[in-house]
Amino acid sequence: MAALWSRKREAAADEALIRSLYEEHGRALLAYATRLTGDRAAAEDVVQETLVRAWRHPDALVNGKGSVRGWLLTVTRNIVTDRIRARAARPQEVAETPLTPPVQRDHADSVVDSMVVLEALDRLSSDHRDVLMEIYFRGRSVTEAAEALGVPPGTVKSRSHYALRALRETFVGQQVALKGVAG
Amino acid sequence: MTTNHDPQLLGAYVLGVLDEREARAVEAHLASCPRCRAELTELRSMADVMGDVPPEALLDGPPEGGDLLLQRTLRQVRSERGAQLRRRQVGLGLVAAAVAAVVLGGGFAVGRGTAPDVAATQQASTQPVPPAGTRLGSATDPRTGARMTVQVKPAAGWVRVNASVAGIAENEKCRLFVVAKDGSRQEAGSWLVSAAGEKDGTNLDGSALIAPEDVAAIEVRNFDDERIVTVPV
């Protein structure tokens, strides 16, 4: 009663949070989970769990878009890994040790790295980001990328160089900052 | 080709998109240029780091055909939030009951109480803090004997009302009104008094489009528009 007003506002904020994460990152998460699980229905479950975990840990969502994406993807991968492990463990009926930590938890550094690199990619100029997207993530040749971006092949080459340089500069700065916070 | 110092090609070289002739030229140059080798090492470390990023990470927007997924997620969050609130609400109901008991000297209880042991643990941690501008009021109508305690909370240009009403006979059809200073009124809800309601009172939440500063009173009337109880706030 007394808290009715703030309660409704909290509920609305919950919904807004889930919706905005879904609108911004849903496609990336579902595509990733689908590849890892090889099963769309299972992937949807994983993404649902990922979003709910994000809602439970709003403190993980305070950084830039790239960091948030990196965090979400890491959570997705961990959920998939845990489920695969749980399934693999089920037939064994001896010596159940539920408190044993998972064998190969993601190394903290690699988590930080993927968050940092996504954040760094997000901060590149669009020219730089586009050329890396075409060449690295879409696997296009210089000629194809040049055509897609509407620039000469020579520009694709030089831009890909400066893009990597810019990425590295942001990356190194970010990595120090994040590891400083984490450490 | 050792004279061809062109660091701009190193990025494309690391990314593996130079054609064979260009790549050979770069390699020949690298063999004799420590600066370019150092540069190459740095760029390669970036390419390695990018290798950890799944290609899907670059997709933007919502998934196609993911509407059910979104709805399921929202439902799960709502129900988890609901579970948290039910735990909290136990405390709030009891505080309200305590307020009503103090104001009215006992006589009825609001319908949200629960086992006292739960109350003891919950109540301390959930002291409700009403938003600024919340007004409380209580009154007993000398004619009908009906009693009401109200809480009026301001919203943006309208109000939320919580009322605990007791002393009205079973089967009476009631309406809750918010009365403005100019005498106009807006209905905030209606109900039928049950046997339990006659005995223990009825607690209800409502809202009305009257600006918080214009609210003069909360009133209960029956469907014949006869006033049962009025609480000025």
CB contact under 8 A, B69 and A48: yes
CA atoms within 13 A on the CB side of B115: 4
- The pLDDT value given to residue A96: 42
- Rounded to the nearest integer, the mean pLDDT of chain B is 79
Query: Which residues from chain B sit within 8 angstroms of residue A5, using beta carbons?
Result: 131, 153, 155, 160
pLDDT tens across B97-151, in order? 555 444 444 434 343 333 344 333 333 333 344 566 778 778 888 788 888 888 8
- The pLDDT value given to residue B131: 62
Q: Which of A142-146, B38-42, B202-206 has the lowest mean pLDDT?
A: B202-206
Q: Is B6 exposed, middle or buried (0-12, 13-18, 19+ CB in 10 A)?
A: middle
- The pLDDT value given to residue B217: 93
- The pLDDT value given to residue B127: 35
**Nearest residue of chain B to residue A46 (CA atoms):** B69
- Measured between CA atoms, how close is A130 to chain B, in angstroms? 11
pLDDT (mean) for B213-227: 91
Under the banding of pLDDT at 50, 70 and 90, the label for residue A32 is very high
Query: Which residues from chain A sit within 8 angstroms of residue B44, using beta carbons?
Result: none
3-class secondary structure, B201? coil
- Rounded to the nearest integer, the mean pLDDT of chain A is 79
Top-confidence residue, A178 or B26: B26
- The pLDDT value given to residue A160: 92
**Nearest residue of chain A to residue B79 (CA atoms):** A11
- The pLDDT value given to residue B162: 87
- B196: which residues sit within 8 A by CB, 6+ positions away? B111
* pTM of this prediction exceeds 0.80: no
* The token pair that represents A50 in the structure block: 């990922």
**Spatial distance between the Cα atoms of B71 and B63, rounded to a whole number of angstroms:** 13
Mutation for testing the A interface, residue in B49, B92, B122 having most A CBs under 10 Å: B49
Rounded to 5 degrees, what are φ and ψ at B159? -135, 150
Q: Contact, A163 vs A131, CB < 8 A?
A: yes
**Spatial distance between the Cα atoms of A120 and A69, rounded to a whole number of angstroms:** 12
- The pLDDT value given to residue A119: 80
**Spatial distance between the Cα atoms of A160 and A154, rounded to a whole number of angstroms:** 10
Q: How many residues does chain B have?
A: 233
Amino acid at B16: G
* The token pair that represents A100 in the structure block: 């044993």
Amino acid at A15: E
CB contact under 8 A, B63 and A118: no
Adjacent-strand bridge partners of B204: B163
pLDDT tens across B28-75, in order? 999 999 999 999 999 998 888 787 778 788 788 999 888 999 999 999
The interface residues of chain A toward chain B in range 5-64, judged by CB-CB distance below 8 A, are 5-7, 10-11, 14-15, 18-19, 22-24, 26-32, 35, 44, 47-48, 51-52, 55
A157 touches chain B (CB under 8 A): yes
User: B53-76 burial by CB neighbour count: b if 16+ within 10 A, else e?
Assistant: bbbbbbbeebbeebeebbebbbeb
- Measured between CA atoms, how close is B87 to chain A, in angstroms? 13
Mutation for testing the A interface, residue in B58, B71, B86 having most A CBs under 10 Å: B58
B48 touches chain A (CB under 8 A): no
- The pLDDT value given to residue B174: 92
Q: Which of A83-97, A107-121, B24-38 has the lowest mean pLDDT?
A: A83-97
- The pLDDT value given to residue B3: 52
**Spatial distance between the Cα atoms of A151 and A109, rounded to a whole number of angstroms:** 37
pLDDT beyond 70 at A47: yes
- The pLDDT value given to residue B89: 58
Under the banding of pLDDT at 50, 70 and 90, the label for residue A98 is very low
- The pLDDT value given to residue A5: 61
Query: Which residues from chain A sit within 8 angstroms of residue B49, using beta carbons?
Result: 113, 116-117, 171
Top-confidence residue, A180 or B153: B153
**Spatial distance between the Cα atoms of A131 and A164, rounded to a whole number of angstroms:** 10
For B103, which DSSP code?
H
**Spatial distance between the Cα atoms of B99 and B105, rounded to a whole number of angstroms:** 10
- The pLDDT value given to residue A101: 37
**Spatial distance between the Cα atoms of B134 and B165, rounded to a whole number of angstroms:** 19
**Spatial distance between the Cα atoms of A178 and B52, rounded to a whole number of angstroms:** 17
B14 touches chain A (CB under 8 A): yes
**Spatial distance between the Cα atoms of B55 and A34, rounded to a whole number of angstroms:** 13
- The pLDDT value given to residue A71: 86
pLDDT (mean) for B4-24: 88
pLDDT beyond 70 at A97: no
